[in-house]
Amino acid sequence: MDCIFCKIVAGELPSFKVYEDDETLAFLDIRPVNTGHTLVVSKKHSTNIFDVSQEDWTAVTKVVRALAAVIEKAVSADGININMNNREHAGQVVDHLHVHIIPRFKGDGFKLWHQSAYKEGEAAMVQEKIKAQLV
């Protein structure tokens, strides 16, 4: 399979690894939003949140939780964003499951998401749509 993150996991492409265990690998993003920007990937290939096994997802999120604190301290950041892009139109470029750990610094100027407001009755409608999918 022609997957760059599988190649990094296999050691066929170089990376700046910061953590590794049997299920996961964490390495520096090559084009960091801020210094210390790290990607945590599952060693077993899956595309994104929609096809990852619960087992692999649990392994990845466990590492994300632990590394967030480690990275914040290591680069003296003032906070951390955890981000994940799932599918092309959500900004996913590399089709191998990965979670971004992005250090944030006071005054770094990055804005969070644009937010809007629900129209009258809209929130209740969306709530019903989501709940209907749960059954």
Q: Which is nearer to ligand AMP, 59 or 99 (CB)?
A: 99
**Which residue, among 107, 100, 101, 108, has the nearest Cα to 80 in the 3D structure?**
101
We find the least distance from the C-beta atom of residue 124 to ligand AMP, in angstroms, to be 33
Report the distance separating Cα 15 and Cα 65, nearest Å.
Answer: 21
Contact of 75 with 36, CB cutoff 8 Å: yes
Residue 28 binds Zn ion (CB under 5 A): no
Residue ranges binding ligand AMP (CB under 6 A): 4, 13, 15, 29-31, 39, 85, 91-94
We find the least distance from the C-beta atom of residue 38 to ligand AMP, in angstroms, to be 10
CA 36: distance to chain centroid?
A: 14
Residue from 37, 43, 96, 98 in contact with Zn ion (CB under 5 A): 96
Report the distance separating Cα 79 and Cα 93, nearest Å.
Answer: 25
**Quick one: what does residue 91 bind among ligand AMP, Zn ion, none, with the CB cut-off 5 to 8 Å set by partner type?**
ligand AMP
Residue 94 binds Zn ion (CB under 5 A): no
CB burial class (10 A; 0-12, 13-18, 19+) of residue 16? exposed
User: Exactly one of 37, 45, 96, 98 is catalytic; which is it?
Assistant: 98
98 a catalytic residue = yes
Catalytic residue list: 98
